[in-house]
Structure 1
Amino acid sequence: MIVRLLVFIVIVLALGYGFSWLADRPGDLSLMWGGELYQTKLIVAASLLIAIIAAVMLLWSLVRMIWTSPHSVTRYFRARKRDRGYQALSTGLIAAGAGNALLARKMAARTRGLISADQEPLINLLEAQAALIEGNHDEARAKFELMAKDPETQELGLRGLYLEAKRLGADEAARQYAEQAADKAPYLPWAAQATLEYRSRAGRWDDAIRLLDQQKIARVIDKDEAHRLRAVLLTARAADRLDANPAGAREDALAALKLADNLVPAALIAAKALFREDKGRKAASVLEDAWKVSPHPEIGRAYVRARSGDSVLDRLKRAEKLEALRPNNVEALLISAQAALDAGNFAVARSKAEAAARMSPREGAFMLLADIEDAETRDQGRTRHWLAQALRAPRDPAWMADGVISDKWLPISPVTGKLDAFEWKSPFSQIDGPVEEGSLASFETALRSLPPLSDFRPPAPAAPAQSARDASAVAKPVAARPVPAQTVSTPATPVKPAVAQPASTQPAPAKPLPAKAAPAKPSTALVTVTKPESPRPPEPRPFFGGAPDDPGVRKTPADPEPKTRLKLF
């Protein structure tokens, strides 16, 4: 519009300039025609010439309009009909999106009457959407197949066929539709992602890597995400080639580590391949670098047990080296504690395991403490205590994907087929933040309840009870136990028997004898006297104040202590 206005202004200015130029140069124009002489001013002749040209142009336009009027009228009505058709198509698509199948069908029929389906392929889409809303999937598939044959709507038709195949559970048909769409248009995210997952599930790692490179070139996925997925695919291919081609597996794993240095499976596969090639120092270096980035228990175990001929002390040194690389780390402390336990250094193992349990109270730490307790003291009560703590503690981290726990890392999820779905996290609870205060307080309470190891001695065998009173004294765990009485044969003399009382009870007052009591006749009888024994070492205090599996009945302070009396006759 602006250009046309500028052209008009330029023409007007040119005409004005021409008339002014002629006006400044007066003259006459003579024309001899048919024996007659015609003479006029030059500016008048120029004006007549311009007027004649304008009249001819106007006449030509009028004749042309009359000549083309039938076509113009037809085009007007055709455009009006097309506009009404597109309005109906728009209304139908909105109705289909809203789930109004009746209005969508009505608008589809009106659109087909106003617009030809060859001219507008969206009519097939509207009818397919209406069929899907009504549940007529056969008709919808037929419409999608028509769209797949049209170059303009081929991608749309393939997506519709892919979704229908997924709905019916026809994985092979869905894979074919996705691969066909990915080959023709690798920039389609849904086709590329589905094809990538299908090829990964089938173990076609080379094809998957090639498709991923095409996606990266087309900028369908982010650069960092492309590097991560490529590292996962290289790690998966290295795992398949580890047994047959260790060198190729090593190259793939090292390339994966360059793309994602925190990918633990890549470091493990690279180290295994290097060990098979007798490159132990290089393998240890790879594990150390991976441990610095991401301390993982599998890396620690592989590093500690790298050489099969090492002794337990050598493994302990290697574990301590890992701990020096990442001090105050839970995994490093647990690995060092396990190595110290294998080496028989129970003090070091206990201190490191307790430190790990303080930092992260979880199942593995308490199970390790139970193993240490069983190996060092053989105290079943203590061992059961740590086992009970392990049952209540959060579970150790494991490889998880879509709620499935795997004993090893896998490149794809076994449930959804998603690539790079496995994560190292705690099952069920899935603790991602700091440890709850309740768990740490429970651990601190458990530590305070344990007696020091210096006070622990193996329990001595109990002496056989000589009477019901002695048997009850043996069965009752008290702080100070009475010395068991011995039975000896002595002449009966009028002596007052000394009765041993438990330390926790006061001796009952002696009952006065009757005033007229007959004197005892001298005879020989068995009487009970106390005889001091050799001092015994103090027996260990009870761990919980009762049997581990039977805490007993608690007594209220109001209950009186039972008093015992001994009657000789």
Structure 2
Amino acid sequence: MWRALAFLALLALAAYGAVWLADRPGVVTVTWGGYELATSLAAALVGVMVLAVVLGFVWAFARGVLNLPERLTLSSRRRRQERGYSALSRGMVAVGSGDPIAARRLAGEAERLLGAEPLALLLTAQAAQISGDRAGAERAFRRMVDDPETRVLGLRGLFVEARRQDDEASARAYALEAARLAPSVTWANEAVMEGQCADRDWTGALDTVSRRASLGLSDKAAMRRQRAVLLTASALDLEAGDPERALAQAREAVKLAPDLVPAAAVAGRLFARRGDLKRGARVVEAAWRANPHPDLARVYLDLRTGDSSRDRLARAETLARISSWHPEARFAIARAALDAREFGRARDVLAPLLADQPTARAYALMAEIEEAEHGKNSGKAREWQARADRAPRDPAWCADGLVTDRWAPISPVSGRLDAFVWQTPPDLLGRAHGTAHEPEPAASALNGAEPAAKAGNGTTTIGTLTSGATGPGVVPVSVKVPEVVGPGR
């Protein structure tokens, strides 16, 4: 609409100019070289306009001829870039599809057409990775490090390659350099913290956690949890040599994460070691109310050195009252009663657990009771132990396929902080085909009579570690997946 209005305005202006010239006739005279040219004003203006148009066409033609080589060069370069980006796009698809031959061919074509384009270098590195050419991938990543635009991505690739070659020193160096260049890069911060945890540099790891939170890489809740885990790890290391400092760190960890069982356990032990039994008991009792756990029960029962077995039994009953007779409290009472040689009491407190989905730990404890009362050659003890071998597993500390009865601040497989979770591990193959649940034993069996023998089903069972048991502490089941470095990784 505006263009139409502008055209009409110009047309009206031209008409007005023509009328104005017609009303004011005149003569234009040009004298040059002894010649005199006379014409009307209107004809002179038309001639000037025609001359201007002709000169414009001549100038445009001259510029086109002069700029022709440059235009041809730009056109050739544009076509080359289009072909290069097409090869780059198809190469990325080939990498994603897992086609190493096409990826290498298209990577070479993209690099030939685009030169040192960052994405072309990345495609070259990825093609080398999926082809198993580690040296080629490393060369491409080093070329990326030389370019400021791709330096951090190149360091990421070199970090991954170093990890694949188990060169932890180089991997940490690459991560530190990347964190220095780009403090907000998540993978570099995580790798730096993993290295600090592997070196047991808990102070440095605490600084890294605080820096990550200040950069917005983790929320406040995650930061508090990670600080609590690191403080607990430091307290465990200092427990023997510097108990006062260890206690201060353990108390701070309990404040940050009241549900962190290892923090409450080490704080309770250190309070007891200092002779402050009441505060130690309060710390453990508070954690027990929130999360009854066998580690807390052991600390609570052993608060005072030299207590008799009956004193420990009374303390276990306190835990039962606090937690409304949680199964862990029953296990604690049964263990204390066994130590006090009150075998009937131990059997009675285990009876509800044996009647409702008993686990290997309940059966194993019954076997210990029978063995303590009737001797190592007791057939009843062997029968209870056989049931334990076939029963569902008890909760344990699990992380990245590892099952252990001891908590650790980091996973020995992946190096992740706070990886261990208290949960029931998956059954192993032999145990999965065994008897998952035994029927409720008769009252006579609980009071010392031998349980009815079960007919063998020919199934081989695999003994696994339960919490508090002796034997190998770790059952590893780990899987490593190859990693391809690329955008967003």
TM-score calculated relative to the size of structure 2: 0.73
Give the 3-state SS of the residue equivalent to 1:152 in structure 2: helix
Aligned to 1:195: 192
Q: Determine helix, strand or coil for the equivalent of 1:413.
A: coil
Aligned-pair distance for 1:371? 4.6
1:63-82 paired onto structure 2 within 5 Å = 68-82=67-81
How far is 1:267 from its partner?
Answer: 0.8
Taking CA–CA contacts closer than 8 Å with sequence separation of 6 or more, which of the two structures ends up with the larger relative contact order? 2
Residue aligning to 1:92: 91
Q: SS at 2:407's partner residue?
A: coil
Structure 1 residue aligned with 2:397: 399
Instruction: Say whether 1:122 aligns with 2:119.
Output: yes
Amino acid at match of 2:75: Y
Q: Distance in 2 between matches of 1:189 and 1:348?
A: 55
Q: Residues 10-21 of structure 1 correspond to what in structure 2 (within 5 A)?
A: none
CA distance, structure 1, for counterparts of residue 326 and residue 51 of structure 2: 97
Gap regions ≥5 residues in structure 1 = 454-541, 550-569
Q: Residues 118-197 of structure 1: matches in 2 within 5 Å?
A: 118=116, 120-197=117-194
Partner of 1:316: 313
Looking at structure 1, the residues matched to 447 and 70 of structure 2 have their Cα atoms a distance apart, in angstroms, of 108
On the 8 A contact 1:354/1:369 being kept in 2, the answer is no
For residue 474 of structure 1, what is the aligned residue in structure 2? none
CA-atom RMSD in angstroms? 4.4
1:391 Cα deviation from its structure 2 partner? 4.0
Contact kept, 8 Å, 1:401 with 1:423, in 2: the verdict is yes
Q: 1:249 to 1:18 in 2, by over 3 A?
A: farther
Shift of 1:231: 2.4
Paired position in structure 2 for 1:447 = 442
1:256-295 paired onto structure 2 within 5 Å: 256-295=253-292
Measure the CA separation in 1 of the matches of 2:203 and 2:16.
81
Aligned to 1:409: 407
Shift of 1:150: 1.0
Task: State the partner residue of 2:332.
Answer: 335
Q: Specify which of 417, 420, 427 is matched with residue 418 of structure 2.
A: 420
- In 1, are the aligned partners of 2:162 and 2:171 still within 8 Å (CA)? yes
Q: Secondary structure at the match of 1:122?
A: helix
Question: C-alpha offsets along residues 261-320 of structure 1, whole Å, 9 cap, x if unaligned?
Answer: 221111112222333444322221111111011100110121122122544444333222
Which segment is superposed worse, 237-246 or 58-67?
A: 58-67
Preserved CA contact (<8 Å) 2:301 2:312: yes
Distance 1:451 1:88 in 2: 76
Residue 362 of structure 1 corresponds to 359
Name which of structure 1's ranges 411-420 and 50-59 shifts more when overlaid on structure 2. 50-59
Native 8 Å contact 2:348 2:446 kept in 1: no
Deviation at 1:145, TM superposition (A): 1.0
- In our comparison, the structure showing a higher alpha carbon Rg is 1
CA distance in 1, matches of 2:161, 2:136: 12
Judged with a 3 Å threshold, the aligned counterparts in structure 2 of structure 1 residues 102 and 409 are, in CA distance, closer, same or farther, namely closer
Corresponding residue for residue 471 of structure 2? none
CA deviation map 1:454-490 (0-9, x unaligned)? xxxxxxxxxxxxxxxxxxxxxxxxxxxxxxxxxxxxx
Aligned-pair distance for 1:347?
4.4
SS at 1:261 equivalent: coil
For residues 368 and 12 of structure 1, the distance between their equivalents in structure 2, rounded to whole angstroms, comes to: 101
Q: What is the CA–CA distance in structure 1 between the aligned matches of 2:317 and 2:228, rounded to whole Å?
A: 31
Task: Please identify, of 288-297 and 181-190, the stretch whose mean Cα deviation from structure 2 is larger.
Answer: 181-190
- Aligned counterpart, 1:250: 247
CA positional deviation for 1:174: 2.1
What are the equivalent positions in structure 2 for 1:487-506 lying under 5 Å apart?
none
Note if contact 2:158-2:174 (Cα within 8 Å) is conserved in structure 1.
Answer: yes
Q: 1:405 to 1:93 in 2, by over 3 A?
A: closer
- 2:328 and 2:214 map into 1 onto residues whose CA distance is 40
Letter in 2 for 1:85: G
Give the CA deviation at 1:338. 2.9
Q: 1:236-259 deviations in whole A, cap 9, x for unaligned?
A: 122223334334323332333333
1:424 partner SS: strand
1:242–1:249 CA contact under 8 A, matched in 2: yes
Equivalent position to 1:241, from 238, 242, 245: 238
Whole-angstrom distance in 2 between the partners of 1:73 and 1:192: 49
Mean CA deviation greater in 383-392 or 257-266:
383-392
**Closer, same or farther in 2 for the Cα pair 1:275/1:114, shift >3 Å?**
same
Separation (CA, whole Å) in 1 of partners of 2:144 and 2:202: 32
Letter of the 1:188 partner, please give it: V
- CA contact 1:405–1:427 (8 Å) conserved in 2: yes
Q: 1:210 aligns with which of 207, 210, 222?
A: 207
Partner Cα distance (1:354, 1:309) in 2: 30
**1:360–1:27 CA distance, 2 compared to 1 (3 A):** same
What's the TM-score once normalised by structure 1's chain length?
0.64
How many correspondences in the alignment?
441
- Does structure 1 retain, via aligned residues, the 8 Å contact 2:347–2:446? no
1:399 aligned counterpart, secondary structure: strand
Q: Secondary structure at the match of 2:422?
A: strand
Q: Structure 1 pair 149/369, CA: closer, same or farther in 2 (3 Å)? A: same
1:330 touches 1:360 (CA, 8 Å); kept in 2?
no
Q: How far off is 1:9 after superposition?
A: 6.9
SS, match of residue 419 in structure 1:
coil
Deviates more, 1:296-305 or 1:56-65: 56-65
Instruction: Look up the equivalent residue of 2:388 and give its one-letter code.
Output: A
- Residues 366 and 79 of structure 1: CA distance in aligned 2, closer, same or farther (over 3 Å): closer
Distance 1:438 1:110, change over 3 A: closer
Amino acid at match of 1:421: A
**CA 1:54–1:171: 2 relative to 1, 3 Å:** same
**What secondary structure sits across from 2:135 in the alignment?**
helix
Deviates more, 1:268-277 or 1:286-295: 268-277
Matching residue of 1:300: 297
Q: Is the 8 A contact 2:268 2:300 kept in 1?
A: no
Aligned match of 1:556: none
- The 5 Å alignment of 1:38-77 reads 68-77=67-76
